[in-house]
Structures are given as C-alpha cells and as structure tokens.
C-alpha cells in the first residue's frame, strides 16, 4: 500500500485564504460598518465587471439568491419549473420556496448537464421557467436551451453556483446568457467568503426588485439613509427577506475575486494532470470539456466504467483507508424524501447512474503535485488489485 508521509487526510476541498483576506477583514471590523455596506457595493461592482454583467446583486448564499429569483417569477401553486435532478438540493428547494413545483429532467451523461431534448419534452402549459445548472463548473448547453426557451417564451434562470470563471463560447457565465444567474461563495466553492452568493442580470427592473427584496423590500438603502442630511423614514413596499451579505464577507470576496485568475489556472492544471493519469487507466472516465467551453473544475468528477475492477463505493472506502477523502458524484434530488412523491426514476436513468457511478476527487488550490500524485498512485493500485 502506498502510504503518505503525513498522518493527515487529504481533504476533498479546502478554501485558500492569505494575509490579504485577513487584512481587509480587519479593516472592515475596525471601520465599524460590518453589515451590508461599501464593501458589498465594491464586490458587486467588481463581480459585474469580471463576468461582464450589467448588474450584480450580493446575497447571503446561492440558495437565497435562487429563492429571491423564484419569488420574482411570481409562481402560483401548480406552476412548473424545469430543472435537473442531478444537482445540489438547493436547485429544487428554491422552486418549492417560490411556490412552484420542480419538474426534473435528465442530463447528458457526458457533460452532466441538462439534456436540451429532455427539456423540450418536459414543457407543459404550466411551465414557467427553465433552470439550467452549470454542474461542477462546466457550462450547460445554453444556446440550445435558450432556443427552446425562446420558442416557448420562457425565462432561463442559471444556477451558476459552481460556475464562477467558467466560459461559454467566449463569454463568462453570468454575462447575459440566460435572464438571471446565481453564484455561490460557500466554503467549498472556488471563490469563497465562507457563505455568500451573487446574482447577475442585464435587466434593470429585475436588479432593482432583487436589491429591495433582499433587504425586506425597504424603500431606501441603508447607505442613502445614513448619508441623508434631513431625517427620512423608510417604507416597506412588499413582503421581503433579509438575504444580505455582510461587509466582512464581502471583504473576503473582494480579495478572492482578485485571486481568481490564479485559482482557476491552478485548478485547470491539476484537473489536466488527473485527466492525463486516468486516460491510461482505462476504467475511470475523465470529465470532458466540449469545444468552445471553459470548465472551471469546481469539482473533478470522473465516472467509473461499468466493468471497473472496483465499485464506486469500494473505491471511496479504499481511498479513505489510505487517508484520501472523496465524495460521491453529484446527488440526484429526486431520490430525497421531499421529492419522492412522483415516480421520477423511469425518467431519470442518466442522473441516477451518474450519482451512483461517479466520484469527486480532492481538488483545491493548495493541493500539491506530490499529494495529487499520491491520490493517483493509490487509485492505480486499488484498481489493479484483484477483486475480493
């Protein structure tokens, strides 16, 4: 057994922070303004510029971002939103929170993203929107999905939680492709502020409504109130939420955004090393990056072939025994208790197979080449041992 010199386990993911994040956070704490304020505004401006969007609206997570977006769709009971089952459960939960019903469609087994054909088949008179997910950082087939949406006059919402820095035919995700895109800055994402989210859109009215709704639909911003020279009283125009990001988190996000090119380069380098190693193995199918698309490798998720020398679960356990932490592939939401009422299984064979046959391997900025070689070597060894 190839053993690691260090006794610690190699985690599947680890955020990367330096003294710059610490310094800016300290500055915010000393400034006395820790709630949503100037740093949030700065992060929004920089994020909008980075992705090429007209508006960026910061919120407390991608889940709350998606929740707000579903709210402004004005869903009524029985209204349907098409989305993949192969995603994190937040993708579907936000539809329920918004008062609608998720309609799961299957994914393309090669890209792990929504199959445009399955999307078109799932459209009914009750469909109100299509939610595309750029799963594990690879853009979905937006041109095809947008064409279908246009034919049926439906908005396309992007769950871009894992897709910061990913590109679709020359434009970053979040630059208008769909109507609205939602990003995550949670602890496992490439750009992390602990928790956090960002919504981008090119639509002025939508941006304004989202800004209000994230702060209890208050008629004026804290900044406007703060700088007023005469007393002012705010009004609460509708039922809103507190989905705000703090300036403390925004400080972390600002520095992380400035690091993003470097973070993405390292990820793509490490992903290429895995892919190169697994090609020769023959039983672990590396993720693909179709022509014209740039994957950010938020997660590196290969799939085991049907005739692999070891099952996915046994591979995960054998790696854990050797100090290497992994995760199963992306979940299938339709298998979880809140979504089992409908018998989806017959409709979602590719999603279920991917959940069962894929694995997420360690990939993070500070993963050393040596530690990655240790992961690769162990996978090779485990796969060449006779099946017990």
Residues carrying an active site annotation = 189
Q: To which residue do tokens 């300036």 refer?
A: 247
Angle at which helices 62-73 and 204-213 cross, to 10°: 120
Among 90, 157, 257, 353, binds ligand PLP (CB under 6 A): 90
Report the distance separating Cα 207 and Cα 59, nearest Å. Answer: 12
Report the distance separating Cα 94 and Cα 100, nearest Å. Answer: 9
Give whichever of 251 and 310 is closer to ligand PLP, judged by the CB atom.
251
C-alpha torsion sign, points 94, 12, 273, 312: negative
Query: DSSP states of 230-244 as a string?
Result: S-----B-S---B-P
197 binds ligand PLP (CB under 6 A): yes
87 binds ligand PLP (CB under 6 A): yes
62 binds ligand PLP (CB under 6 A): yes
Part of the chain binding ligand PLP (CB under 6 A), chosen from 85-93, 260-268, 276-284, 336-344: 85-93
Part of the chain binding ligand PLP (CB under 6 A), chosen from 104-112, 157-165, 258-266, 267-275: 157-165
Report the distance separating Cα 127 and Cα 119, nearest Å. Answer: 11
Least distance to ligand PLP, CB of residue 321, Å: 28
Least distance to ligand PLP, CB of residue 61, Å: 4
**Contact string 207-246 vs ligand PLP (x = CB under 6 A):** ----------------------------------------
**Contact string 120-149 vs ligand PLP (x = CB under 6 A):** -------------x----------------
Residue 58 tokens, joined? 């910061």
- Other beta carbons within 10 angstroms of residue 223's beta carbon come to 14
State the DSSP code for 137. Answer: G
Residue 26 tokens, joined? 């300290």
162 binds ligand PLP (CB under 6 A): yes
Query: DSSP states of 358-384 as a string?
Result: BEEBP--TT--HHHHHHHHHHHHHHHH
Least distance to ligand PLP, CB of residue 193, Å: 10
Give whichever of 37 and 84 is closer to ligand PLP, judged by the CB atom.
84
Residues that bind ligand PLP (CB under 6 A): 61-63, 87-88, 90-91, 133, 159, 161-162, 184, 186, 197
């Amino acid at each position: 057994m190839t053993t690691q010199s260090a006794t610690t386990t190699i985690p599947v993911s680890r955020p990367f922070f330096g003294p710059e994040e610490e310094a800016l956070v300290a500055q915010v704490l000393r400034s006395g303004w820790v709630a949503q304020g100037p740093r949030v505004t700065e992060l929004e401006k920089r994020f909008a510029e980075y992705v090429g969007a007209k508006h960026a609206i910061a919120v407390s997570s991608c889940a709350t971002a998606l929740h707000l977006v579903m709210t402004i769709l004005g869903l009524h009971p029985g209204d349907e939103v098409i989305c993949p089952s192969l995603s994190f459960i937040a993708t579907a939960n936000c539809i329920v929170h918004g008062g609608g019903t998720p309609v799961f469609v299957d994914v393309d087994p090669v890209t792990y993203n929504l199959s445009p054909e399955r999307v078109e088949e799932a459209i009914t008179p009750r469909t109100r929107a299509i939610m595309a997910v750029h799963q594990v950082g690879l853009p979905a087939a937006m041109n095809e999905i947008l064409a279908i949406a246009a034919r049926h006059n439906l908005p396309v919402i992007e769950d871009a939680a894992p897709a910061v820095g990913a590109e679709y035919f020359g434009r970053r995700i979040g630059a208008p492709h769909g109507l609205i895109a939602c990003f995550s800055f949670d602890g496992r994402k490439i750009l992390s502020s602990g928790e956090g989210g960002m919504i981008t859109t090119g639509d002025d009215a939508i941006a304004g409504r989202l800004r209000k709704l994230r702060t209890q639909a208050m008629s004026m911003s804290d900044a406007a109130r703060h700088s007023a020279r005469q007393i002012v009283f705010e009004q609460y125009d509708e039922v809103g939420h507190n989905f705000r990001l703090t300036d403390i988190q925004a400080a972390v996000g600002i520095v992380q955004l400035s690091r993003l090119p470097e973070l993405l380069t390292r990820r793509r380098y490490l992903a290429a090393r895995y892919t190169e190693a697994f090609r020769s193995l023959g039983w672990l199918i590396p993720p693909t990056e179709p022509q014209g698309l740039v994957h950010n490798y938020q997660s590196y998720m290969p799939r085991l072939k049907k005739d692999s020398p070891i099952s996915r679960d046994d591979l995960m356990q054998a790696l854990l025994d050797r100090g290497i932490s992994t995760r199963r592939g992306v979940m299938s939401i339709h298998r979880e208790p809140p979504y089992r009422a409908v018998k989806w299984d017959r409709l979602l064979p590719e999603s279920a197979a991917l959940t069962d046959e894929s694995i997420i391997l360690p990939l993070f900025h500070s993963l050393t080449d040596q530690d990655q070689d240790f992961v690769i070597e162990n996978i090779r060894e485990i796969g060449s041992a006779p099946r017990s």
